[in-house]
Structure 1
Amino acid sequence: MGAAQSRHEVVPDWPQLPEGHVLGLCAGVGVDAQNRVFVFHRSGRKWANPFPKEPIDASTVSAFDGATGKLLFAWGAGRFIMPHGLAVDHEGMLWLTDVGLHQVFRCTPEGKVLLTLGEAGAPGADQAHFNLPTDVAVLRDGSFYVSDGYKNSRVVKFTAAGKFDFEWGTKGQANGQFSLPHGIAVDALGRIIVCDRENERLQLFAARGAFLDVWKSPGIGKPYGVEVGADGHIHVIDGGSPSLKREQRGKAVELDARGNVIASYGRPGSGPGEFQLGHDIAVGPDGAVYVAEGTGARVQKFVRKN
C-alpha cells in the first residue's frame, strides 16, 4: 500500500478562484472532452432539515479550465435548492441532481435546460417522482440511470427521451438492496456501479439491473462517488467510514476492473492532498483526477507522478 500511495500527487493552487467567488460545499464534479471541469456547489448553503424553500442566490455551477484552474464561467444563481450530483455525458451535456427540488436536469454547459425529470419540491416513489435523487450515469445511446437516493433506495432507468424504463432496489443489506445509493457510473464492460454508501460497499449490476458482484473492504471504505477513466480503471472517493481508524478515513481509490485496489491516496485533513468529506470524483481526458469535498468546501486536482 505504501508504494500505491505515491501514485498520485496534488496540484497546488488549483483552481484559481476570483475574489468573492465562493464555492461552499462542493457536491458534484465532472470533466468534459475539452478538459473543462464543472463543479456543482452550494455557495455557502448548509444542509438543513427541512430544506430551505428559496433557491440559492449565488451561482452554483462553476466551470474551470482543467489545465490552468482558471474560472471560465459560472451560472445557476436563483435556480437550485440543494445541489448534489453532476455528470457529463458523451455529448458534453451536464446532468445535475437537486435533492432539495427532487429533480434531475440535463443542461448545456452554459446552463440551458434541455430536460427536466421529477416534480419541483414534490418527493415521491413512482415513475414520475424522485425522493432526494443523488446522481446520474449516462449510456452512449443517451439512456440513463438515476440513483434515487436518500429515501427511495433504488436505481431508475430512463430512455434517452426521459421516459421511465424500469427500476430496481429496495432498502436493505442484501445483494441488490441499498442503503443510500449515492454515486453511480457505467464501466467499459457495461456494468452499472453503485456506491451503496451506508452499506459501505460498491455493487455491480448488469444493464437490466441483475446483480453481478459486490466489492467491500477497508481499502474501498465508504464510497460516496465513482467514475470510470478512459483506461477502464474505476475511481472512488471514500467519504470516511466511522468503522475505520481515523487515519484510514477519507481517501481516493483507484481500482482495476476486478475491484482490486491499484492506488490509494489522501488522508483526513484540511491540507493539500487531504480530504474533509470527499463527496464526488471525476477523471479528465488527460487522466487527471478531481475530488469535490463537502466539509472541505473545495475541489482538488491530482495527477499521476512520473
Structure 2
Amino acid sequence: MSTGSITFEVVPNWEKCPAGDEFSHEDVAGVACDSRDRVFLHTRKGERVMVYDSDGNFLYKWGDGVFNRAHGITIHDDLVYCTDDQDSVVRVFDLEGNFQWMLGEPRKVSDTGYGSIKGRKPQIHHNEYVERSADGFNCCCNVCIAQNKDMFVADGYGNARIHHFSPKGELLNSWGEVGTGPGEFHVPHGIALDRQENVIVCDRENDRLQFFDRSGKFIAIWDDVLRPTDVVVDDEGLIYVSELWRPMEAGQGSFTHGFADRDLPGRVTVFAPQGNIVARWGADSNARSAPGNFIAPHALALDSQGSLYVAEVSVSFGSGFNRIAREACIDHQIQKFRRVDR
C-alpha cells in the first residue's frame, strides 16, 4: 500500500492485548521502539505504558497511577521520555518503568492565557485561547533527543513554543510565537531531528512542517501536509509524518474550530529529504476504520527493520464526535506496517 516509490503492507491484528481492565485502553497516544525492537505504547484510559515484542505479543506494563493524560513517548539510549499534557511535564524512566527524573512540575504552567487553565473548555483547535507564548510548559506534547542528549520539547496545546534543554535539564533556549508566519505556531505538536540534526516541528493547525537549526533559526516550511501530529526520520533520511483527520462540520463551511467544509481524512506521508513525496496512504473517507487506513493517526515509531508503527487516538477522536462506532474505534488504535519494497 501507498502511492509512491516505497511500499508498506499492514500487519493485521498486530496488538495482542491481554484481557482485563488492568490492561485495557481506549487510545494509543504515543509509540516508541527500543534498541531490541520492543514496542512501547503510551495509552489512555488507562494511562500507562504497555510493552510488546515486534510480533505484538504482550510483555509487561508500567506507569499505572503515574500519568494524568498520556501523550508522547520517545526512547533514546534506552531511556523512556513520556509527556503528560495534562500535568505539563516530561517524565523520564528506564525501560522497566523505574522513574529517573522529570522536566517541569506537575500542573505548574506558564501564563499563556490558555483556556483550560482559566476554567474554559478548549475547542478542538486546543490552543484557540492561547493569547501569547511563554517560557515554561503549558500542556506539552512531544520531545526529541539529540545525539548529545539535548532535549527539544514541542509545547503546543497551551503554548506555542519549542524549548531546548541541556542533558541536565537546563533551559538553553525557547522560540516561537502564536501565529501563522515563519517561526510562529498553532499547536506545535510533533518534533524530530533530521539527519543534520535540524529541528522539524509539526505545526499542526497551520497544516505544515517547519524546519529550524538547533538554535531556533528558521530554515524552511513544507506545507503539503494535513494537521501533522508526529514526525520520525529513518536512517535513509526519509521523513515520516502522521496527519490527523479534519472532519466536516455540518453547516460550518469553514476551518473554524478545526472543522472543514469537506471531509479530510487522516493519512501517513513519507518524504524524501528534499521534500518530494515517496509514499502516501490512507485518506479514505468511506473505509477509514479498515485495516491499513486511519481514523486519527497521532504518533509514529520505526524499528530497526524499517517497520512503521502508527498509533491512533481513535476513541477520543472518532467516537467522541459521533462519527464512527465505538467498537470500530477500539479495534483501531495501533497498526504495524511492514516495508516490502526493499
**TM-score w.r.t. length of structure 2:** 0.80
Identity of aligned residues (%): 34
Structure 1 counterpart of 2:53: 65
Cα distance between partner residues in 2 of 1:94 and 1:231: 24
Verify: 1:281 aligned to 2:292, yes or no. Answer: no
- The Cα shift of 1:305 comes to 2.3
Structure 1 counterpart of 2:99: 113
Structure 2 counterpart of 1:53: none
SS in 2 for 1:231: coil
> Structure 1's 5 and 240: CA in aligned 2 closer, same or farther, altered over 3 A?
farther
Contact 1:8 1:265 in 2 (8 A): no
What letter corresponds to residue 15 of structure 1 in structure 2? Answer: E
Cα distance between partner residues in 2 of 1:2 and 1:15: 22
Structure 2 counterpart of 1:9: 9
Structure 1 unaligned residues grouped into runs of 5+:
44-57
Cα distance between partner residues in 1 of 2:283 and 2:71: 23
The within-5 A match list for 1:214-225 is: 214-217=221-224, 220-225=225-230
Cα distance between partner residues in 2 of 1:267 and 1:174: 27
- The Cα shift of 1:112 comes to 1.3
What letter corresponds to residue 233 of structure 1 in structure 2? Answer: L
What letter corresponds to residue 189 of structure 1 in structure 2? Answer: Q
Structure 1 counterpart of 2:32: 30
What letter corresponds to residue 160 of structure 2 in structure 1? Answer: S
- The Cα shift of 1:3 comes to 4.0
Verify: 1:272 aligned to 2:291, yes or no. Answer: yes
Size of the aligned set, in residue pairs, is 286
Structure 2 unaligned residues grouped into runs of 5+:
112-133, 248-259, 315-328
Structure 2 counterpart of 1:132: 139
- The Cα shift of 1:142 comes to 0.8
Cα distance between partner residues in 2 of 1:212 and 1:3: 28
Structure 1 counterpart of 2:311: 292
Contact 2:310 2:335 in 1 (8 A): yes
- The Cα shift of 1:245 comes to 4.9
- The Cα shift of 1:302 comes to 0.2
Q: Deviations along 1:12-34, whole A, 9 cap, x unmatched?
A: 12011111231211111111121
- The Cα shift of 1:59 comes to 5.4
> Structure 1's 166 and 83: CA in aligned 2 closer, same or farther, altered over 3 A?
same
Verify: 1:260 aligned to 2:247, yes or no. Answer: no
- The Cα shift of 1:2 comes to 6.8
Cα distance between partner residues in 1 of 2:27 and 2:3: 31
The within-5 A match list for 1:151-166 is: 151-166=158-173
C-alpha RMSD of the superposition: 1.8
Cα distance between partner residues in 1 of 2:157 and 2:8: 32
Q: Deviations along 1:37-88, whole A, 9 cap, x unmatched?
A: 1110112xxxxxxxxxxxxxx451011111x110111011111111111111
Q: 2:67 aligns with which of 57, 68, 80?
A: 80
- The Cα shift of 1:267 comes to 3.3
Cα distance between partner residues in 1 of 2:93 and 2:276: 35
Cα distance between partner residues in 1 of 2:93 and 2:147: 17
> Structure 1's 6 and 273: CA in aligned 2 closer, same or farther, altered over 3 A?
farther
SS in 2 for 1:161: coil
SS in 1 for 2:178: coil
**TM-score w.r.t. length of structure 1:** 0.89
Contact 1:267 1:273 in 2 (8 A): no
Cα distance between partner residues in 1 of 2:88 and 2:5: 38
Contact 1:103 1:120 in 2 (8 A): yes
- The Cα shift of 1:189 comes to 1.2
Contact 1:223 1:237 in 2 (8 A): yes
The within-5 A match list for 1:224-235 is: 224-235=229-240
Contact 2:47 2:67 in 1 (8 A): no
Contact 1:195 1:201 in 2 (8 A): yes
Cα distance between partner residues in 2 of 1:185 and 1:250: 20
The within-5 A match list for 1:101-250 is: 101-124=87-110, 127=135, 129-217=136-224, 220-242=225-247, 243=260, 245-246=262-263, 249-250=265-266
Bigger CA drift: 198-207 or 103-112? Answer: 103-112
- The Cα shift of 1:256 comes to 0.7
Contact 1:32 1:285 in 2 (8 A): no
Contact 1:27 1:85 in 2 (8 A): yes
Contact 1:98 1:104 in 2 (8 A): yes
Q: Which has the larger radius of gyration?
A: 2
